[in-house]
Structures are given as structure tokens and as C-alpha cells.
Structure 1
Amino acid sequence: MRVELRDLGKTYDGERWAVRGLTLTIPSGSIVGLIGPNGAGKSTTLRMLATVLAPSDGSIAFDGVTPGPDKTALRRQIGFLGDGNPLYKHMSPAEYLRFFGQCFKLPPAELEPAIAEMLTTFDLTERRDTPAGALSKGMRQRLLIARCLLHGPRLLILDEPADGLDPRGRSDLRAILARTRERGVTVLISSHILRELDDLCDQTVILQQGKLVVAGEVADIIERYEVRRFVYQLRLLAGGPAARELLARRRVLVEAEGVEDGCETLSIQVQGGEELMADILAELCAAGVRVVTVSRVRSRLEDVYNRISDDRVA
């Protein structure tokens, strides 16, 4: 589903604007990341896109059509996870999904297989009959996301979906979203964990104070803001002095040093891409440095966002 926002705006009191003059095109079958600080207008924008909040100004077109007063048919094509969605705590996961499947008028022959698929996908099969109130926070969050995908939407809107998920759950969510895009579903996702959006989104939209600051393909934005500085953490079992000597010759800045789980750690700033880091790692190993792990500390989107924020403050 292709979504077009034209001069979209929302005010709650007629004076202050939560969102103002937002013009944006979301291509069909893409994953778009919406980022910005608290109060930037992210949740308000997502609620307008989900048709649960009426715009004060401008319009939204879905596949070229601006919806009229009756949005029932359109809402059946949208999966929406808003901020603070409650669960019916007395319902089990199976009952909860069945209830919403009936709300979306899924035929019984399609509903039960869809419920089984969602319970399997989100690792809830063993808890299918457990009251939702007795589930962990991560399980409840997975159930909420499963509800959004149950009816096979063409547009999936997720507001902070990784909230409450452990690292394994966040990794699984990324895989699920990637598969969802492969089915042609358009995905719009907001997150304050920018690293979660790295290498997942096709496009990024940055909002500040209710206004669009930057929008476009992730690679183009990174190139535009010249994000070529990467920070990695090295965990070393041995060879710290040799590592420092080699990094100094390579003119790699060591930002911080420490110890983690009995291993020496070095946080290094590399002026180049992953190919350069791969070359440095190979040289460290050839010099006898015993590298346990290499991990990127900050994401490219974090660097872009920090660069934009610095520019606006200046």
C-alpha cells in the first residue's frame, strides 16, 4: 500500500501544533523508520495514519484514495500497534487473537490457522491458554504485535514495538518485519532504539517539534550527512599493547578503555566503512592480538540523528 501525506497537521487545542505541514510519500512494500525525540509528533503522526485520529489540516491518501467518513474497509487493511495498547488480561493469547480476528471478520476456516501461525511465529504456543495478565512483559508485547499481523494487513504501523522485548525478541522482530516486507506489506515503525532500525529500514523520516527535518532512503541520507565515522568495541583476551601500537600506526582513535568479563576492551573510532574495519581486524590477528569480539557501538542512524540535532542547535 502506497501512502501519501500532504501538508498533514494536527493540533489538540487550536493553538499549538503537534504536527505541522508534513508532506511525505511512503512507497508500497517498504519499511520506513520514524525517529525523533519525545514530543516530536511521532505517535500523533502514526495515529493519523492508522485513521484513529483525524487530521486538523492536510490529507492522507492510501493507494491514491483519500478515505471518506466510513473507514471500515480501510481499517481492515491496517495493522496498528499504538503507544500503550492494553491487553484484556483475563483472555488467553488464543482467545485474544480469536476476538480480534472476529472483529476483522476473518472467516472461521481462515481464523484458526491464522491464530496457530501467529502463536508459532511469536513463540506463544505453549502459553496459548495462559491468561494474558500472567504473561511476562515481553510475551505481552509479542502478543500485541501478533494481533496486528493476524488479519494479513497491507499496511503495518508499529509505535515502539521493541518496548519490553529482550535482545532475542528484538532480533526475532527484525526477522518478522523483513519477511512481512517480502510479502509486499508496507511497514511504518517508530523506535527510540535507533540501532534497531539500522540495516532494516529502506527509508528514514526524522521529525523534530512536529516538523519534517529529513526524509529519504537511508543510504542517501548517510551519504548526504557524510557519516563515515564508525565506533567499534574490541574485546581482547590478550595482546593489548600490540593492538594499541597497530591502531596508532593506522591513526585509529582509541576513545575508551576498560575491562569486561575478564577481557580488555577498547572503543575505537574508525574513519571509514566496514571494509576498513575488516582490514584492521585481520592485521590485529596477524600481529598476535587475540580478539574475542568486535561490535559496532553506535549505529549510522544515531550518527545521522546526532549530526542533524547538532546542526539545528547551532
Structure 2
Amino acid sequence: MRTQDSATTATTIAVAATGSLRAGSAAAPEGRAAADPRTRGTLLAGLGVLSFSLTFPSTVWGLESFGPWSLVAVRSTLAALIAGAFLLAGRVPLPERRHWAGFAVVACGVVIGFPLLTTLALQTSTTSHAAVVVGLLPLTTATLAAVRTGRRPSRTFWIAAVSGAVVVLGFTLQQSGGAFSTGDLYLFGALLVCAAGYTEGGRLAALMPGWQVIGWALVLCLPLMVAASAVTLSIEPVHLTAHGVIGLVWVAAGSTFFGLYVWYRGMAAIGIPKASQLQLAQPLLTLFWSVFLLGETLPLAAPVAAVAVLVCIAVTQRAKS
């Protein structure tokens, strides 16, 4: 899981101002135009969250046809080929050398680490349970972003963010009987690496278009993922089904490329802390997809958690960062 075209083209319009009325009428449109990037950024980040909410159900479908290691390797390879095609078509020049360390963090976090750890977790955890644990991602991302960028969101922001995380954590413990499983440990590890990737990707997305951020991160992983695909496909059995193919295509093209594209673009427009809080809605969306697509039983506590989390989202979006 975007980007940025924070390289906004600055167009200079020369208008002959023949009076104060004309000048006043020009001020309003400019004010509205200035507000557009934040509104657009929120919509893009929200679209990214919607894309990500389908990742766990799609991964479960993909596991019908592939093993966990081969699924991650093949999805990353396909996503990298898509990204590479876009970069070639756009004749995008190679990034400056000073940015490659950041791309490596993005690649390790969101291209390899998060998909692998969550796929391993989903072998034993339900998608609804995994979705709630990953609901802690916004707080993790906001914390790492504060450390990485040196910015300090307001107290109100942190109270709302921590409250949302507490709701998610309490929901998780209640559903798992008060104990964490091996799958939960995979998920907690996924939180850390993904938050690091989001934070570094959001920083890069302020310097270049978001699709280029995830594009170069994917291309950076391509040689490794091609080799991993060859090895894992020869070891893990493959039984192609319609669900398996659809799941693979979505996690590759939908979650890994498109979702991260719009996500980084949204983060560049509204900031990492506020964008990350939109992900508090992701567990609720995934719960819906878990029921609708996988037939899982929706926990009774979900509606209560949904209301509490949505309130936290509203507060964090209004809080001054």
C-alpha cells in the first residue's frame, strides 16, 4: 500500500486587475483550489484503504492454489512487472542514488515483509482476526513517522489514535480468548515492517509521484522475487482454481501496485499521521469482505468496535497535526 505528484505544476495566470471587485472574485476560486489537494488526498488514501481491505480475503483465496512462500514470490514478481511496464512507458529516469536506501526500506516493508508475514499468519488465523490485529497499523505508522520526520502531532490526535488502537487490541484479545497465538506474532511483526515501509514511502512520495515510489521499490525486488518464484514453485505444490487465480491477481495488481499507488499519493497530500488513521477503517471493511466473500462468522462485538473506531477516525482527521 501512494503518491504524490506533489510535484504540482505551478501555472501563472496573468489577469489584468482593473478593480477591487475583480480581485475579490478571483480570491475565492484560488481558496477552493488550495483546499482541493487535501480533499483529493483523503479520497486517494481512502481508496487505498479500500484496496487493502481486500488483501486478506484475496490471500486466503490465493492459498487455495499456491503455498505461502510461492504466493508471496509470484505476487511480488507480477506486481514488479506491472510497475516496470508503467515506468518504461512513462520513460521515467532512474531515481537519484541518495533515494535508493529509502526504496529498500519500502521494498522490505510493504513488498516482501508484510505480505510474507501476513500470508504465514493466515494459514492459522481467520481473516477477520488478522484484520483486527492489523488495525494497530495506524498507531504504529504514526509513531514511526513522528520519529522519522521529527513532527509531533497534537495531544488530541494522539489520544484519539491510542484510543482507536486500544479498541482494536481489546477486540482482538476478546476474540482470541485473551491470549496471542503464533499467527498474532507474525501479524505484530508485519505491523512493524509495514509501518516502516509506509513511513519511508510517504517521505519519498513528497519528492516524486507515488506510483514511482512503489514502482521502483517493486523493480528493486524483481531479481530476488523471480529467483524466489522459481525455487518456491518447484517446492510447493500448485493447484490452480478460479479463486486462487483471482486472489493472486488482486494481491499483485490491486493491493500491491494500485493500492500502494493511491495510498502513497494520498499520504503525500494529507501527511503520514492523518493518512495512517484512515486505516482504522480497514479492519471493519475486511470483516465485511470476510463474511461476504469467505463466509466467515462476523464477531458480535464488531458493530461496537466499528462505531468506536469510526469516532476515532473523525477525531484524528480534525486534530491539528
TM-score clears 0.5: no
More helix by share: 2
The normalised TM-score by structure 1 is 0.24
Structure ID, larger Rg: 1
The normalised TM-score by structure 2 is 0.24
